[in-house]
Amino acid sequence: MNFKKFFAAAAACAVAAFSTVAMTVSAAETELTYTGPSEKAFAINDDGSTLRLNLLNEWSKGQETADIAKTGSFTESINVTFTISGLNGGCNVKEDGSNGDPYYAELVGTIGEENYWGTSDPSKNSVTNDQVAITGNGQYTASFKLSKPADTILCLILTTNINAFNYASDGKPANTGITIKVDKVTTGGAPVVTDDLGETPTQAPTDANNNQTPTQAPTDANNNQTPTQAANNNTSGSTSGGAVLGNSTQTNSATTGDAGVAAAVAGLVITAGIGAAAVAMRSRKK
């Protein structure tokens, strides 16, 4: 018997056992309907100089916008993928002609019970959204994080630090030559498949043709060595039913937990291989 290939196959079975408990830990993205841009969507921020795109804003007089629905089912985050064009470089220009702050964009507003209004007054924020570096013309995605599901959007604005007066002497967005086109609006996150430890399953070893040292078969009882016994899995994990994450359902073992099942299956597979190898060696010695 070719023990190298035998043990490689046994290890592959163990890896397969672990892969059976891989799970999806993030809800899939769901696209939301965007009907804009409406007439007042492309506007100036409250600082009087930088550009923003209103997606839902009924609080700012003269810039009322409702280009996405106010109600729905929102989980993990709301993500706005957009394409910006008409930029000259990737940073503001100071009055003396030198480079100023690099461009960025971020989502601000109120979704459900969550608030984020930028970094100028962190006391108003219940979540922290990441600024997206705008390095020039191209496509980008900004996200508004949610610590818990929400069913209402009260205000949502894609804001930037791009100085309109660098592009138009009157500072009017329509005269800057810049466009911000929303490509899609989604909620949720892309699915991520991991094992119970949040790790990528280990690959099974190949045989000796790949120059890897094969596992040695145990000797028989004449050398006073005892074949390895399968480990008992007597530890009971906490009972849990299906845990629903957005649109994705995750179910754990009700008694041992998936990690315990995987370990027991892997142990039985490897032990069975060792036992078979020992029996084969005894047969050859007779």
All structural domains of the chain = 3-25+217-285 (no CATH), 30-187 (2.60.120)
Residue 274 has pLDDT above 90, yes or no: no
pLDDT digits 0-9 by tens, 18-65 = 444 444 445 588 999 999 999 989 999 999 999 999 999 988 777 789
Question: In the numeric block, which tokens belong to residue 109?
Answer: 């507003």
Residues near 91 by Cβ (< 8 Å), separated by ≥ 6?
A: 99, 100, 101, 102, 103
Q: What is the pLDDT, as a whole number, of residue 61? A: 78
What's the average model confidence in pLDDT over 188-204? 50
Q: Which two tokens stand for residue 130?
A: 């990441």
pLDDT at 5: 53
Q: What is the pTM of this model?
A: 0.58
CA distance 137 to 179: 10
For 137-155, b/e burial (b = at least 16 CB within 10 A) is: eeebebbbbbeeebeebbb
Residue 14 has pLDDT above 70, yes or no: no
Give the model confidence (pLDDT) of 233-244 as tens digits: 443 433 333 333
| Residue 251, phi then psi, degrees to nearest 5 | -120, 130
Confidence band, pLDDT 50/70/90 cuts, at residue 121: confident
Closest by Cα among 56, 60, 85, 82 to 71: 56
Whether 75 shows a pLDDT value over 70: the answer reads yes
Helix axis angle, 3-19 to 258-285, nearest 10°: 170
Name 141's bridge partners: 81
Q: According to DSSP H, which parts of 20-59 are helical?
A: none
Q: What is the mean pLDDT of the chain?
A: 73
Q: Determine the pLDDT at residue 63.
A: 77
* Cβ atoms of 137 and 82 closer than 8 Å: no
- Flag whether pLDDT at 245 surpasses 50: no
